[in-house]
């Protein structure tokens, strides 16, 4: 992936670029795999590459858009199933999930572009949070799952690195 955090960027530019880079890395982990492979659970928890992309899209939409009072499409959360957003339904295709991720990314980028780092919103928990905090949180969340995806991808086809090497 060619995107890098600028060496001399300001704080918002640097945080945003870091989030964009991690998003690119997670999508890159799907490259070259077929539908069965991106859905394959190779760890006991059942976690799979496509489910992680779905999860990351849903939490970005929720954290940024809902926190700052913006519209979202229906999100795959279920109070009865805390992991519903990690599961890919049989009727969802890889293209569906990647498109969902793209729509979430565009909506979130609009929020980031319109707000300042010190602007505040109300999180799902009722806490007041800044855009700065959300950017840091989503960089952490996305990088954490990118690491999971590194391991899953290696177990699926042996590919390692960024982007996956063959």
pLDDT < 70 stretches in the chain: 1-2, 163-166
pLDDT of residue 162: 76
Q: C-alpha angle 118/59/130, rounded to 5°?
A: 10
pLDDT tens sequence across 89-136 = 999 999 999 999 999 999 999 999 999 999 999 999 999 999 999 999
The Cα 108–Cα 63 span in angstroms is 9
Cα dihedral sign, 9-120-98-157: positive
Cα dihedral sign, 36-157-48-32: negative
pLDDT of residue 137: 98
pLDDT of residue 1: 46
């Amino acid at each position: 992936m060619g995107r890098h955090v600028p060496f001399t960027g300001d704080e918002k530019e640097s945080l945003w670029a870091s989030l964009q880079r991690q998003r690119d890395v997670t999508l890159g982990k799907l490259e070259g795999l077929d539908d069965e492979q991106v859905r394959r659970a190779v760890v006991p928890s059942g976690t799979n590459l496509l489910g992680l992309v779905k999860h990351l899209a849903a939490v970005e939409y929720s954290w940024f858009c809902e926190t700052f009072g913006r519209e979202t499409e229906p999100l795959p959360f279920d109070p009865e199933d805390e992991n519903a957003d990690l599961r890919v339904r049989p009727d969802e295709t890889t293209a569906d999930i990647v498109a969902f991720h793209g729509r979430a990314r565009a909506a979130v980028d609009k929020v980031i572009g319109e707000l300042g780092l010190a602007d505040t919103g109300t999180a799902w928990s009722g806490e007041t949070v800044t855009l700065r905090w959300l950017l840091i949180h989503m960089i952490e969340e996305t990088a954490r799952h990118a690491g999971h995806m590194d391991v899953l991808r290696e177990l699926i086809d042996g590919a390692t690195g960024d982007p996956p090497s063959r």
